[in-house]
């Protein structure tokens, strides 16, 4: 298998450290990274993106594109929706009410469905 360059962001650096990449054991890191990606893929396949309207997609896009995605961003997504400038207050409230009922996996699936 050919070597590929991977952009090492903070979560990947943490994973590499946990896998001992700093000690020259890169195979363990790449195998672990493959496991993580495979598990994420399974979760996304088993979690259909909730149905949302075009305006709700635009609102959600504003919410997630304006900040770094974190556990807190996902947890409090429904609150951030009300701070968006996109849509009317009623449209934001309708989306907020939907998002409150979604699991974390459904929230991530909705973000992934936006293609951002």
pLDDT digits (tens, 9 = 90+) for 43-56: 999 999 999 999 99
Structure tokens at 47: 């979690």
Quick one: 34 and 69 in the same domain?
A: no
The parent domain of residue 81 ranges over 54-113
Q: Which of the residues in the chain have pLDDT under 50?
A: 22
> Residue 104 has what pLDDT?
96
**Do residues 60 and 22 share a domain?**
no
| Residues 60, 100 within the same domain | yes
Do 62 and 109 lie in a common domain?
Answer: yes
Number of domains comprising the chain: 2
Q: In this structure, is the dihedral angle defined by the CA atoms of residues 83, 55, 43 and 116, taken in order, positive or negative?
A: negative
Whether 73 and 102 map to the same domain: the answer is yes
Q: What pTM does this model have?
A: 0.80
Q: What is the pLDDT of residue 5?
A: 81
């Amino acid at each position: 298998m050919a070597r590929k360059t991977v952009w090492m962001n903070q979560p990947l650096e943490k994973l590499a450290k946990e896998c001992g990449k700093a000690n020259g054991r890169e195979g363990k890191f790449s195998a672990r990274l493959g496991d993580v990606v495979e598990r994420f893929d399974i979760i996304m396949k088993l979690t259909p993106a909730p149905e949302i309207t075009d305006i709700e997609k635009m609102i959600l896009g504003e919410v997630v594109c304006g900040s770094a995605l974190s556990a807190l961003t996902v947890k409090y997504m429904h609150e951030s929706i009300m701070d968006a400038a996109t849509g009317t207050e009623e449209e934001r409230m309708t989306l907020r009410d939907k998002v409150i009922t979604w699991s974390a996996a459904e929230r991530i699936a909705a973000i992934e469905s936006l293609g951002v």
